Structures are given as C-alpha cells and as structure tokens.
C-alpha cells in the first residue's frame, strides 16, 4: 500500500504540519478543483491509473489489513446475512468469498450457502473474472453497484441492513464528508452488525506515533477548535449506540490503524466534522475540524 506524493499535495502537508494556522474551511474553488482531480483518479484506466490506486486486493489481503475478528465475521456469515464492501475496486474480495471451496476428496459435504454480498465502487471496475464468478453464484448473491459514492445510495438500493460492512482504503479513506459517511454506514448496519475499516498514516489512539513521511502531516487529521490533533479513534468513540475497537497493525508501510465499529442500538448520532482541507491523492490528504455539539 503506497501513498502517492505529488508536489502540490506534499506542499500542502508541509504547510499544515509546520505550525501554520489551519484555514477555517477550504475555499470552494480550491475544493472543486481537488474534487475534480479526485474524480480523474477514480476513473483512471490502464497506464493513467496511479500506481498507488490499488483496486485488486483479495480476501486474504483484507484479512491481513483489517482487525482480527474480520476473518471469523466473514466465516460465520450465513445465507440470510448480508455483507457490503464499500470501495470494492474490482470486487476481488467478494470473488474470493464466493469461490467454491476446494474439495480435498475426503468428505462429500454439501457446499456451504453464502451470504448475499454487495460490492460498491464509484467507478465500474468489474472484469471478466467478476462476471464469471457472479454467473456461477446463486442469483442476486453477488451484486456490484457503482456510479455514486455511498452517501448517494438509499438503504433500499443497497439492500440494507447488513450484518457486516468492510472498507479497505475505500470510502472511509476517500470521502470528503466523514460525518455523512459514518451516518450512512450506521444507517445501513444491522444492530449487532460490525463495520471493519482502517486508515493509513494517521494518529494512533495513544497519540504516540509520528507521520510516516518526514516533514509531512498525517494523511487524515481531525483537529479540535484549537487546531490540536485528536485521533480518528477518539472521534469514533463519541458516536452514540456503538462499541468501538481501535488497533494499530504492523506489517504495513505506511503503518495502519484498524477500527471495528459495532452498532448496539438504533439511536446513533455522529459528532460533526467540518472539512477544512482536501487534497486529491491515493488516498487524498484530509483535515477535518471537530465541531463541538
């Protein structure tokens, strides 16, 4: 997993890290330009797709990236359950999930029926492999939705509620509106269902790590009214009706922080963040300000 550093993006990181006061909010034209650059990244193909825009991680890579517990959460899904992958790229994790189990010839066990899955992406990255796998799965078990970010789908279009939602460097790392993103995740998550995700190169819960790139800031930051950094984990913990676990995971460059958010009741409320910087990239650099209720 790599982060692309492009000159304007590095410059922004340096400015924001070197003690310069943060702006109240990105000026609209600046944001519009960055949003349009981000769209170009989403829709890039072939040679023009940046090296850092990885779209083909399979299920094993998801297990390696996400918090322990994700693998058994996938393994315990039954045929009446539903799993949504936000920011699925080619949907390789779901192709792997639906692949028929290899029969070692020692038991005649019937194949296990799988959960209904939905792979979500802004751009359509389906390949021949996806179409073959979907044709081999039970009807409607392997859906792929695209064309819009998560927040622009209704719960009914997505087929909510979901017992499991995953996001590996998808919408959670790319959205320009983290509050709305989490509100939507919690709207479509079943009670007792879990959202597994991660961020790379961000402040840990203990606040004892440094940005990966010397001289740059963290890739996603949340600051309070006095511009002091607070961890993503601390913000997640302020959401009501959820149980949050946060854990650093080794073996990744830049290092990653993993999160599991379990929904415990329906009255969820997500503390509001204002976007104050968004610089396109893979993923984008973002700074949000925590708005006290």
Ligand X SMILES: C[S@@+](CC[C@H](N)C(=O)[O-])C[C@H]1O[C@@H](n2cnc3c(N)ncnc32)[C@H](O)[C@@H]1O
Among 168, 178, 233, 276, binds ligand X (CB under 6 A): 168
Among 12, 77, 95, 122, binds ligand X (CB under 6 A): 122
Span interacting with ligand X, options 170-178, 203-211, 214-222, 265-273, rule CB under 6 A: 170-178
Among 150, 158, 186, 261, binds ligand X (CB under 6 A): 150
The reply to whether 63 sits near ligand X by the rule CB under 6 A is no
Residues in the chain: 293
CB of 50 to ligand X, least distance (A): 10
CB of 196 to ligand X, least distance (A): 12
The reply to whether 171 sits near ligand X by the rule CB under 6 A is yes
The reply to whether 174 sits near ligand X by the rule CB under 6 A is yes
Among 26, 175, 268, 277, binds ligand X (CB under 6 A): 175
Among 84, 120, 160, 222, binds ligand X (CB under 6 A): 120
- Tell me the number of residues near ligand X by CB under 6 A: 22
Burial of 55 (0-12, 13-18, 19+ CB in 10 A): middle
Q: How many Cα neighbours within 13 Å face the side chain of 146?
A: 14
The reply to whether 64 sits near ligand X by the rule CB under 6 A is no
Q: Which is nearer to ligand X, 147 or 224 (CB)?
A: 147
The reply to whether 258 sits near ligand X by the rule CB under 6 A is no
The reply to whether 54 sits near ligand X by the rule CB under 6 A is yes
Q: Which of residues 80-119 bind ligand X (CB under 6 A)?
A: 86-89
Of residues 120, 176, 107, the one with CA closest to residue 148: 120
* Residues that bind ligand X in the complex, under the rule CB under 6 A: 42, 53-57, 86-89, 120-123, 149-150, 168-171, 174-175
């Amino acid at each position: 997993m790599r982060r692309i550093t492009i000159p304007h993006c590095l410059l922004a990181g340096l400015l924001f890290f070197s003690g310069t006061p943060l702006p109240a909010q990105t000026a609209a034209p600046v944001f519009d330009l960055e949003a349009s650059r981000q769209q170009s990244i989403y829709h890039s193909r072939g040679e023009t797709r940046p090296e850092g825009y990885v779209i083909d991680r399979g299920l094993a890579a998801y297990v390696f990236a996400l918090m322990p517990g994700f693998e058994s959460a996938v393994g315990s899904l039954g045929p009446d359950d539903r799993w949504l992958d936000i920011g699925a790229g080619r949907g390789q994790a779901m192709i792997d999930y639906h692949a028929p189990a290899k029969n070692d010839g020692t038991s005649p066990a019937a194949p296990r029926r799988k959960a209904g899955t939905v792979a979500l992406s802004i751009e359509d990255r389906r390949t021949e492999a996806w179409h073959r796998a979907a044709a081999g799965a039970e009807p409607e078990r392997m859906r792929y939705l695209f064309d819009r970010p998560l927040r622009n789908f209704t719960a009914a279009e997505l087929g909510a509620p979901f017992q499991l939602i995953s996001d590996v460097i998808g919408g959670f790392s790319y959205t320009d509106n983290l509050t709305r993103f989490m509100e939507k995740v919690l709207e479509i998550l079943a009670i007792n269902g879990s959202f597994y995700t991660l961020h790379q190169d961000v402040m840990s819960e203990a606040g004892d790590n440094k940005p990966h790139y010397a001289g740059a800031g963290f890739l996603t930051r949340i600051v309070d009214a006095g511009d002091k950094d607070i961890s993503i984990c601390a913000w997640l913990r302020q959401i009501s009706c959820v149980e949050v676990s946060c854990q650093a995971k080794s073996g990744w460059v830049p290092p990653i922080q993993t999160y599991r958010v379990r929904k415990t009741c329906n009255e969820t409320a997500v503390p509001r963040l204002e976007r104050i910087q968004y610089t396109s990239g893979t993923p984008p650099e973002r700074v949000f300000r925590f708005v006290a209720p």
